[in-house]
Structure 1
């Protein structure tokens, strides 16, 4: 399922469109030239979903393994949470390039955590980076939980 990526310059906006195959919906990624380019940090400014698209909302995925155990290591939890997100996508028959929006929650966020976050999101999404919001929080649902990611997905 490859997508051709095209960058267009329209009225001061850089619009990246991903050409979809017959069975896929098209997401349009928008990064205005007048704003900071967020793509090196693993996200896009905006994503436009196609008219009439069905959306799926994936609940926050933490870094638990299949037994519910959590590593105390932030990087391990982030990597596992993205693996869990991929499993949730598989469960609904979707691929990472159908994710329009991520919201991530980071316990005791500081700038040292950005490298781990950026690396994981780029590994999962490549150049088709969803819109994303990072929300620093004092704690999550379970005390040892350090990271959680939720997604909005465009279904075909």
Structure 2
């Protein structure tokens, strides 16, 4: 009986901090590159799946040919969506970044701009995929995300 009560109590345990971000000591430090190795959620809530956001500005989806400007715009578009759920960048658990004609220079720009948006908060888990082209001519970056909103 004591064992059954323990099992039932464990099944209903609620963690006050819903999100965990980890960078195991035995792996390289990913923080300078703007991501964490792993993120997890241990509490009931709502997952928000955000479609790829490009660097297109406004309803006209204007694509500036400058990569840094598109990165800033894609991150701003992501923040607009998060805000519509009353969330912030630190609620993002996982992102995927698609970069056209990826290079060390573009990676440096990405790292600088994501660091400004996350501003010292834990970075989400991340995958960067170099691609030759995206959906529209002139698109240089696309960022999708999975965010979590605790109940």
Q: Shorter-chain TM-score: which interval?
A: 0.7 to 0.9
Which one has the largest radius of gyration?
2
The answer for the alignment partner of 2:149 in structure 1 is: 155
Structure 2 match to 1:136: 130
Describe the SS at the equivalent of 1:97: helix
Which residue in 2 is equivalent to 1:75?
Answer: 68
Deviating above 3 A after TM superposition, structure 1's stretches of 4 or more consecutive aligned residues are none
Say which of 95, 106, 128 aligns to 1:102: 95
Query: CA shift at 1:53, angstroms?
Result: 3.1
Q: Which runs of 5+ in 2 are unaligned?
A: 1-14
Deviations 1:87-132 (A, max 9, x none): 0111122111110001000001011111110111111112321111
2-structure distance, mates of 1:80, 1:145: 11
- Larger RCO, structures 1/2 (Cα 8 Å, 6+ apart): 2
Does the CA contact (< 8 Å) of 2:47 and 2:147 recur in 1? yes
Question: Taking structure 1 as the reference length, what is the TM-score of the superposition?
Answer: 0.81
TM-score, normalization by structure 2: 0.84
State the superposition RMSD in angstroms: 1.5
* Contact 2:36/2:124 (8 A) holds in 1: yes
Higher strand content, 1 or 2: 1
Normalized per residue, which structure has more helix?
A: 2
